[in-house]
Amino acid sequence: MPIESLTKKKIRMENVVSKLKQQYPDSKCSLRYASSFQLLTATILSAQCTDERVNKVTKGMFARYSTPGDFANLPLEIIKKEIYSTGFYNNKAKSIKAMAEMLVNSHSGNVPNTLDEMVKLPGVGRKTANVVLGNIQGIPSIVVDTHVTRITNLLKFVKTKNAVKIESELSKLINKNDWTLFAHLLIDHGRAVCIANRPQCNNCVIAEFCPSKLGDT
């Protein structure tokens, strides 16, 4: 494939986003939450766990404990018991409790609304922070997960597995109004069509814009 100019790459990205919007008109965050804190907690739980399982766990848990104060005051063993089925419950419980304590002690129980402040919270990395900023705080943010990493590399929009570099490169190509939606579109597409190790290229609505499909690997 010849070297693609930034302008042409932007146009190709616009076409990809447009096609995916048509294919997945209801694309959105599949985690259930009622506050920034709950989405932070759910996103921490989603590591190495399906969103479906997380939602089953948080449905009952958030009915009993819903605020940073609730979790800061909970014994660690109770949090472990609540989240056991999400896997890696020891580390996740420690992160959630420490995060809740920091929110109570340093932020008056409120989740910060900047990336720099949010990533200082225990258990909260750039991906988790961007999930909250984009989906509940209304701040355009690009989430880079395994689906986004894999598919944007296949599409040759990026040539790296480094999440920070991917986020930076994509921010130059995607309309800012679509930053938050973009990850949801690729997650839906990655689960339904562009499946890891067995992509269904013949059924792909963006195949015409994919160099990997066209054979320019």
> How many residues are listed for the chain in this entry?
217
Neighbouring C-beta atoms of residue 70, cutoff 10 Å: 15
Give the up-direction half-sphere exposure of residue 195: CA atoms within 13 A in the CB hemisphere: 7
Q: Annotated catalytic, 145?
A: yes
| Amino acid letter, residue 216 | D
Q: Which domains does the chain have, with CATH numbers?
A: 6-28+142-214 (1.10.1670.10), 36-135 (1.10.340.30)
Which one is catalytic: 92, 127, 188, 213?
127
The residue whose two tokens read 């929009």 is 157
Pure H helices in the chain:
6-23, 36-45, 51-64, 68-73, 76-83, 89-106, 115-118, 126-135, 146-154, 163-173, 179-192, 211-214
Q: What is the pLDDT along the chain (217 residues), one digit of tens a residue?
A: 578 999 999 999 999 999 999 999 999 999 999 999 999 999 999 999 999 999 999 999 999 999 999 999 999 999 999 999 999 999 999 999 999 999 999 999 999 999 999 999 999 999 999 999 999 999 999 999 999 999 999 999 999 999 999 999 999 999 999 999 999 999 999 999 999 989 999 999 999 999 987 444 4
- Please give the pLDDT value at position 11: 97
Q: Annotated catalytic, 159?
A: no
- Please give the pLDDT value at position 217: 41
For CA atoms 208, 210, 211, 214, the dihedral sign is negative
The predicted model scores a pTM of 0.90
- Please give the pLDDT value at position 3: 86
